[in-house]
Amino acid sequence: MKNKKEMMLKAPMVKVVLMMALPVMMSNLMQTLYNLADTYWVGQYEMMNGFEGEMLSAIILIFPAIGMLLALGTGISTACISLISQYIGSGNEDHAKKVAAQALSFSFISSLILGIIGAIFTPLIVKLLGAEGAVLENGIIYLRLMMFGLPTVFLFFTFNAIKQSQGDTFSPMLFSILSVTLNIILDPILMIVFDMGIAGAAIATIFSRGLFIVFAIGSLFKESKRHMKLDYHDLKLDMIVIKQIFQIGLPASISSVMSSFGFGVLNNFVIGFGVPTLTAFGIGNRITGLILMPAMGIGSALGAIVGTNLGAENVPRAKSAVKVSFLLSSGILVAGGAIIFVLAEPIILQFNNVPEVVSQATVYLKLIIATIPLMAAFSVLNGTFIGSGHTGLSLFISAGRLWLLRIPLIVIFKNFTNLGTNSVWYAMILSNLIICLIGYAIYKTGTWETKIVKEPRVKVA
């Protein structure tokens, strides 16, 4: 771990960003491949059984609800990155260990409670999202099963954050690859061979993630050169530490809730144009997830780099990390996006062969790719604000993009123009542009340059 810290503080910045980000990119790639595989096998099952997108639409429609339930987990992992990286950068490793152990306990307990409550209210949640008929029925099956797997997701988030904040992005990548590979194998077996349909997709996800998170968490309590060894006695809840995690993570949790709820509202607008438009929206998002994987990986790794250097009071190096990260992510996205732009329609046909869906998804995908550097800028700005611990700024650009810009723009375009279904696509592009300009202006103020860890604030047993 000492070598990783020295690397983040002293090594050439291009090398630091790439070494930190490449494993994260691979993890994101595997997760994206899982999403694509899941979408592919759901689509195959529907085509084999004569359905017309009810299952895929159900998954797309309830995704914001799952995101809202994961909000607390997102907040905990965000706080881990901010606090642990800055404690390590300032030399307070004992306090970093305490935060890590408390985050694990808090993640498990809170996710268990949320999962039970969510399972009870699943039918109501799916109805509130606007589902009807077959979409409602499939949505209830999928969401209720995912509720039972909530602790595995929270713990995976926290494990990744603990490792990443110490400069170890390889271990999370390894566990992610193993989990996703098993998931991809189980999908067709459970869904098609055992004819479990959408339930098979959910069970494959839960089992694959749950199996490997046991090994992942266990590794944190063993001696390793890759991480600081945690102590079991630190798992006992310490409200001083929980309060600190909560204070830093709350804006990130609020951001996640607002974004997920906003996407639920957005989906209701989209489904107003018809099921084909919602399906096209979902397929397009799955594919753009693959394109945006490098920027998301770099932005995620950037948080630990910024946090560690701010902890060591090296602001110029933190700024250098931001600049290098933007240049690298933009270059990679433009190159990859050009390939997808040319092959957009053939790729979409692998997931759905309904002409209206293919046509709309192709238009959406090409428009997003044409403005792809904006996504690189957004990911870098978000990673910067999270790493610095100024999660309120991350909340503003994340929630503001959706609630202050995207949704109002869709309403305006839908009611005062003749853009039709293209209203959604143009609103997304314009909202990305405006929020990136605002985010850059905030970055230039230097507000994020003040570290949040000044004196030890946690008790060490």
Q: What secondary structure, in 3-state letters, does the chain show?
A: CHHHHHHHHHCCHHHHHHHHHHHHHHHHHHHHHHHHHHHHHHHHHHHHHCCCCHHHHHHHHHHHHHHHHCHHHHHHHHHHHHHHHHHHHCCCHHHHHHHHHHHHHHHHHHHHHHHHHHHHCHHHHHHHCCCCHHHHHHHHHHHHHHHHCHHHHHHHHHHHHHHHHCCCCHHHHHHHHHHHHHHHHHHHHHHHHCCCCHHHHHHHHHHHHHHHHHHHHHHCCCCECCECCCCHHHHCCCHHHHHHHHHHHHHHHHHHHHHHHHHHHHHHHHHCCCHHHHHHHHHHHHHHHHHCHHHHHHHHHHHHHHHHHHHCCCHHHHHHHHHHHHHHHHHHHHHHHHHHHHCHHHHHCCCCCCHHHHHHHHHHHHHHHHCCHHHHHHHHHHHHHHHCCCHHHHHHHHHHHHHHHHHHHHHHHHHHCCCCCHHHHHHHHHHHHHHHHHHHHHHHHCHHHCCCCCCCCCCCC
Give the predicted TM-score (pTM) of the model. 0.80
Are 77 and 120 in contact, with CB atoms under 8 Å apart? no
Whether residue 454 is contained in a domain is answered as no
Phi-psi region of 352 (alpha: psi -120 to 50; beta: other; left: phi over 0): beta
Whether residue 81 is contained in a domain is answered as yes
Total domains in the fold of the chain: 1
| Both structure tokens of 103 | 């985050």
Whether residue 138 is contained in a domain is answered as yes
For residue 455, the model assigns a pLDDT of: 53
Whether residue 461 is contained in a domain is answered as no
Give residues with Cβ within 8 angstroms of 176, minimum separation 6. 26, 27, 30, 31
For residue 39, the model assigns a pLDDT of: 75
Are 36 and 263 in contact, with CB atoms under 8 Å apart? no
Whether residue 455 is contained in a domain is answered as no
Whether residue 97 is contained in a domain is answered as yes
**Structural domain that includes position 284:** 2-449
For residue 43, the model assigns a pLDDT of: 81
Whether residue 246 is contained in a domain is answered as yes
Query: Which of these, 54, 79, 81, 223, lies nearest to 141 by C-alpha position?
Result: 54
Full pLDDT tens readout for the chain, 461 residues: 567 788 999 999 999 999 999 998 888 777 767 766 777 888 888 888 877 678 888 887 887 788 778 888 889 999 999 999 999 988 888 889 999 999 999 999 999 999 999 999 999 989 988 888 888 999 999 999 999 999 999 999 999 999 999 989 899 999 988 998 898 899 999 998 998 988 998 999 899 999 999 999 999 999 877 778 999 998 999 998 999 898 899 998 888 888 777 777 887 778 777 778 888 888 888 788 778 888 888 998 999 999 999 999 999 999 999 999 999 999 999 988 888 888 888 988 887 788 888 888 898 888 888 888 999 999 999 999 999 999 999 999 998 999 999 989 988 998 898 888 788 889 989 999 999 999 999 999 999 998 887 654 444 44
For residue 459, the model assigns a pLDDT of: 45
Whether residue 30 is contained in a domain is answered as yes
